[in-house]
Amino acid sequence: MEPTLVIALLAAVLVGFSLGLLGGGGSILTTPILVYLLGMEPRAAIASSLFIVGVTSAVGLLGHARAGRVRWRTGLFFGGAGMAGAFAGGLLGGWIPGPVLMILFAVMMIATATAMIRGRRPAVASASAGTDDTAPPVARMLLVGLLVGLATGLVGAGGGFLIVPALHLLGGLPMVAAVATSLFVIVMNTATGLTGALVSVQIDWPIVLAFTGIAVAGPLLGARFAGRLPERALRRGFGVFVLAMGALVLAQEIPNIAAGIA
């Protein structure tokens, strides 16, 4: 087995851990791993990432659900709108050049990270059980869910790095509830985005299934840590992590774009 493949499969555990702990970051790790370590064409990597992150998120969701952190009603509204956007994004992404998709991916990561590091007013929702006593406005959640779903299908992000900030900063959910609920939304979005992407993209299933099989071990551990970390530390840690990955992707892709223009 090639060293890069071994490293990529080991990194799959980090993908799962990130999803369980932060409710996002799976695609932020998965897509660059598939592109830069395994040499996948960006559009194929994006489609593969949707499958890997969707399955891994479903496993991570179980731990959060048992702990009562998932806001099911908010997730259904948000995710239902996101599924429509994800399908459209998956279809559209098949016609956009790979380097352009990766640049869009990085720009969204950096913008989201900045918002998370800044934070918002104290959340008004209770962090306790998975009830929706102070559910965010339905219309706002539907609109934001649609836009996040579009980004999910377009750039292959399961959406956690956008969903968590949307639920926390716009929806007012505490971070731990936003993390848990995001996994529920990711499962819906990735399934729909993958359906759209498969219309124009072929997936290397042996590699993808091996990566997924290893990644599913991470969320169970990540979910245990999520309930023990302070709200502010979890939010800022998420932001710094996403910012670093966005900068890395830009550093890789800007020279490619420049070379194509020259």
Domain borders along the chain are 3-261
Predicted local confidence at residue 1, as pLDDT:
56
User: Which residues, including other chains, have CB under 8 Å from residue 19's CB and lie 6 or more apart?
Assistant: 25, 26, 53, 56, 57, 60, 158, 160, 183, 186, 218, 219, 222
pLDDT reported for residue 97: 78
> Which residue ranges of the chain lie beneath pLDDT 50?
121-134
Q: Which is it for the CA torsion 56, 108, 140, 230, positive or negative? A: positive
In one letter, which amino acid is 15?
Answer: V
pLDDT of residue 126: 39
Q: What is the pLDDT of residue 163?
A: 80
Q: How many helices (H) and strands (E) does the chain have?
A: 11, 0
pLDDT of residue 262: 54
pLDDT of the residue at 15? 74
Q: Quick one: which of 239, 228, 224 has its CA closest to 63?
A: 224
CA distance 127 to 250: 35
pLDDT digits (tens, 9 = 90+) for 44-81: 888 888 898 888 888 888 878 888 889 998 888 888 88
64, HSE (Cβ side, Cα atoms, 13 Å): 32
Q: What is the CA radius of gyration of the chain?
A: 17
Report pLDDT for 127. Answer: 38
